[in-house]
Amino acid sequence: MSDSRPIGVFDSGVGGLTVLQELRRQLPGESLVYLADLERFPYGPRPLAEVRERAFLVIEHLAEHDIKLVVIACNTATAAALNAARERFDIPIVGVIAPGAQAAAAATRNGRVAVISTQGTLDSGEYVHAIKEANPGIAVLGLAAPALVDIVEAGDAGTPRADEALRPLVDDIIEWGADTLVLGCTHYPLLRPSLRRAVARRRLRVIDSAETTASRVRRVIAANRLQNTAAGPAPAPRVLVTGPPARFVDTAARLFRSDLESPVAVRLQPPLAVAR
């Protein structure tokens, strides 16, 4: 039986679009709703309790769109809210930490994995827990790199500014002895050109949480028989924002060339309604 309900995806900004793109690539028949919580961007520096409550509001709003699964396309929000959200909501919820952590544990050959993330994700310890859950013998180095989010949002991914920010991080990771690096923020895959230059001629596997998360969603959809089996590709994702739409459009246009719909402004305060 076909399930045409959409998958809901959210982040505080454009970073989660990396997950959205992978979902579209791996699940081309599935409808998608993306919510960018610009009103609280960025989540990374905020207290985890605040992010958790905000995530609950976002999920409640997405539920009004009759979604069949939620993807928390933000590492900080996953760290803050995933477990509590699964207890609170009767809907499958997938975060971005466990898929990346499991892929890193499988990829490392010397048992040393580095994770770069926002400060909030680092402070939560969730990557350490998830990687060691997959293999308790792995050593984990966590590094906060909050400036990278600002670089991406400013449209400077792949520029000398990004190169300069990444180089010392990669130097520290190589010096520590890691052979695997997890990109612990959904903004970071957009830095791949600069990352390739920083990693050049060095043996360092890079784990992209967007790709691994989309693979996890594909498996969950199949296991729970939630696939949309209707013929033909799905329509362009619907985009919701909690801040000025122009801000999202400008940033997304610099980073992505896609057929996203024009964003619709929404409010996440009860009663939840589309802004007029």
Active site residues: 74, 185
Compute the Cα dihedral for 259, 264, 270, 271 and give only its sign: negative
Q: Specify the 3-state DSSP secondary structure of 184.
A: strand
Length of the chain as a residue count? 276
CA distance 186 to 76: 10
Report DSSP letters for 93-128, one per residue: EE-SHHHHHHHHHHH-SSSEEEEEE-HHHHHHTHHH
Compute the Cα dihedral for 210, 127, 184, 49 and give only its sign: positive
CA distance 235 to 184: 29
